[in-house]
Amino acid sequence: MAQYRRVSGSVGLITLQNPPVNALSASVRQGIVDSVKRALGDQKVKSVVICGQNGVFCGGADIREFGRQMSGPPLVPMIHDIEAANKPVVAAIEGSALGGGLELALGCHYRISHSKAKLGLPEVTLGLLPAAGGTQRLPRLIGVPAALNLITTGRHVTAAEALQLGILDHVTEHNTVDVAVKFALSVTGESLDGRRISSFSCAPLSDLDSLFEEAMLKVRGAARGAIAPVACVQAVRAAATLPYAQGMEREKELMATLFHSGQARALQYFFFAQRAVGRWSTPSGARWDTSQPRPVRKAAVIGLGTMGRGITVALAQAGLSVVAVETHAKQLMEAKKAVPSMLKRGAVRGGTTIEPDSITYSETVQAVADVDLVIEAVFEDMALKEKVFQQLSIVCKPDTLLCTNTSSLDVDHLASQTRHPELVVGMHFFAPAHVMKLLEVVYGRRSSPAAVATAMQLGKKMGKVSVAVGNCRGFAGNRMLKRYLEQAFFLLEEGATPELVDRALEEFGFPMGVFRMSDLSGLDVGWRVRKADGLADTSLTGTSARVRQGCRYSPLGDLLCEHGRFGQKTGRGWYQYDKPGGRVAKSDPWLHNFLDEYRARHGLVPRCIDQQEVLERCLFVLINEGFQILEEGIAAGPEDIDAIYVFGYGWPRHRGGPMFYADMVGLERVVERLERYHQAHPNVPYLQPSGLLRRLVANGSPPIHKWRNVIKNRNSQL
């Protein structure tokens, strides 16, 4: 709703009231319409101020209303009536003015903002466009290039930038509503002719066509297959080329193509999923709202390889004091040079400053004696990690949290090496650790709720999306990835090429297909793990070469590594590169011959494989593992898995994440295809649909937000 009152004698003050972000729900819109009518009809009122309750102007349309039957007054005529008013209307912006909130402010004649406010049109991130006149008013106000940038990226700008761009008329450090009321009094009676943005023309530009062509290329490259950014460009083009009324028609038409699209559903689901992962819980009953995180002011990182350096930077950027430990002198010296320049680059990118003294370096573990939390990031070797944890347990304060950055090793086993296993958790960062948003917080059997809460909170402070997961081989993300990679290898054996598989995945929306990604991250990484697990044995011949523990196995990755083909770093992998470290993947005839010979050697007759099979085999098997993970309680809900895949593995956000995608495709279809593939490949047991997936289908395939009930019922019967 909206509250209306008269203040300072002649100012009608309208306050949006819909906590926490004053979203424009039907009742808020009705409240605004009624209040504006009242203010304009009251002869004592000479000007109007619109503000939001509790220091937030407005977080935009109420996203929860989108999936339902829309009711209440629509935004477009509401904003039009405000702009057409014959009394000055001033927006008093505090907190956020986003989406419909900023569009409402653009309909006002003046905009005054607090210096700490953030403004933006983030509709594109929800699969939409700013369809309450945003695409037509913003370019008229700040010019086409700047508007294109804001609308197609959805980025939030500070009040200072908004002032510079011309979105705001004034920025204040004081009480914004008081300043706005005084301002409203000062402009009483002034002409509003030059204040109605819809009457402006866009500033002329010399080469509109190339500007829009470039913008189109940019958005298509940034989010492969996403339709909203394309529609945003088209709508802004309408602002640049058509009169306002026709531009508004075009905006409406384009919005109609987006509003009920699968991509909009996926992105809106993901908006709430991101927030749901913060409300973590574990099978033992620990929860986000009953667990108290401990304060962490000083942290340590053990091991300054690529991951350790990234983690050190991320901790320092979060304002912590960091002790960075590396026992190899040469590596320590390199890290001492690399970390400050990474910090400097980050500061330039983020427009922030960093305290250079916040990091101290040491060659001995003894230096961590007084820290609150340690993150171990040494080489992925259990014996080495055991030793580090034993040492830490002796050196650190008894209440120091001990975290491991292992990507797959047993957190419970590492905890058992310490005096306080309840203070051990996994903090699995993704490379580069100071850039990638995802953090898997891995709780062990004995991790205390406070330890999990502390790691989750620290992740948040570091700007990460922290997802709590249970302890198992590969945790959630890498465990699912393993199945996906294996299917990709099998497809090569059966007749596909890396190019075909990658094309299918990239057209689906991944920034890189599985083979290009594997070349980038290095084939030797997985090879080392497979060797440690006793899998990478290329001396085996005949049928046993392609079988491990009774299941199908492909040694293709191992064979490539034996040829010294580690990917980009060696200039050869699944593709060839112009030099070691080269970035541009080119098809490699050597690889195709190698595959032909390999198939001939193993009596494999290549067949024609289409993109649909690639997608079904690679993605459905990954999804199936996701259901297995949910069934085992390793992840608490589908949102956790979806956040992991979008933030850590390049799953296209406009497809919502693997579990949401399964819901969109239809669970019955996923089961049917998995069964078919399992029949064709009976020696791949994980192609069999998981018990949970089958149970969901048996329960009538409920929508994704109801899956937790089915999981809960199952767990309560155990």
Ligand X SMILES: CC/C=C/CC(=O)SCCNC(=O)CCNC(=O)[C@H](O)C(C)(C)COP(=O)(O)OP(=O)(O)OC[C@H]1O[C@@H](n2cnc3c(N)ncnc32)[C@H](O)[C@@H]1OP(=O)(O)O
The residues of the shown chain that bind ligand X, judged by CB under 6 A, are 20-21, 23, 59-64, 75, 96, 98-100, 122-123, 126, 128, 131-132, 272, 275
Token pair 């996906």 is at which residue? 484
Minimum CB distance to ligand X smaller for 126 or for 223: 126
Three-state secondary-structure class, residue 543: helix
How far, in Å, CA of 346 to CA of 379, rounded? 25
How far, in Å, CA of 76 to CA of 79, rounded? 5
Give me the least distance between CB of 59 and ligand X, in Å please.
3
Minimum CB distance to ligand X smaller for 269 or for 677: 269
Listed in sequence order, the residues at least 6 apart from 351 whose beta carbon sits closer than 8 Å to its beta carbon are: none
Listed in sequence order, the residues at least 6 apart from 343 whose beta carbon sits closer than 8 Å to its beta carbon are: 313, 316, 317, 354, 356
How far, in Å, CA of 413 to CA of 663, rounded? 36
Identify whether 103 is a catalytic site residue: yes
Residue number with the shortest CB distance to ligand X? 99
How far, in Å, CA of 181 to CA of 203, rounded? 31
Give me the least distance between CB of 639 and ligand X, in Å please.
11
Instruction: Verify cis geometry, omega within 30 degrees of 0, for the bond prior to 19.
Output: no
Identify whether 251 is a catalytic site residue: no
Catalytic residue among 103, 326, 486, 493, which? 103
Give me the least distance between CB of 637 and ligand X, in Å please.
13
Listed in sequence order, the residues at least 6 apart from 21 whose beta carbon sits closer than 8 Å to its beta carbon are: 56, 58, 59, 60, 95, 96
Give me the least distance between CB of 479 and ligand X, in Å please.
27
Give me the least distance between CB of 75 and ligand X, in Å please.
6
709 closest CA partner among 623, 638, 660:
638
Residue 465: beta bridge partners?
438
Give me the least distance between CB of 131 and ligand X, in Å please.
6
How far, in Å, CA of 92 to CA of 82, rounded? 14
Amino acid 158 reads T
Give me the least distance between CB of 587 and ligand X, in Å please.
42
Catalytic residue among 83, 94, 123, 376, which? 123
Minimum CB distance to ligand X smaller for 100 or for 498: 100
Give me the least distance between CB of 135 and ligand X, in Å please.
11
Residue 299: beta bridge partners?
322, 373
How far, in Å, CA of 650 to CA of 619, rounded? 13
77 closest CA partner among 119, 126, 20, 32:
32
Listed in sequence order, the residues at least 6 apart from 375 whose beta carbon sits closer than 8 Å to its beta carbon are: 299, 300, 301, 302, 311, 315, 403, 404, 405, 427
Residue 111: beta bridge partners?
91
How far, in Å, CA of 537 to CA of 559, rounded? 9
The answer to whether residues 261 and 298 touch, using CB atoms and an 8 Å cutoff, is: no
Listed in sequence order, the residues at least 6 apart from 210 whose beta carbon sits closer than 8 Å to its beta carbon are: none
Listed in sequence order, the residues at least 6 apart from 13 whose beta carbon sits closer than 8 Å to its beta carbon are: 4, 5, 6, 7, 48, 49, 51, 177, 181
441 closest CA partner among 427, 453, 430:
427
Give me the least distance between CB of 132 and ligand X, in Å please.
6
Per DSSP, 620 falls in state I
Minimum CB distance to ligand X smaller for 121 or for 536: 121
Phi/psi for 287 (5° steps) reads -140, 155
Residues annotated as part of the active site: 103, 123
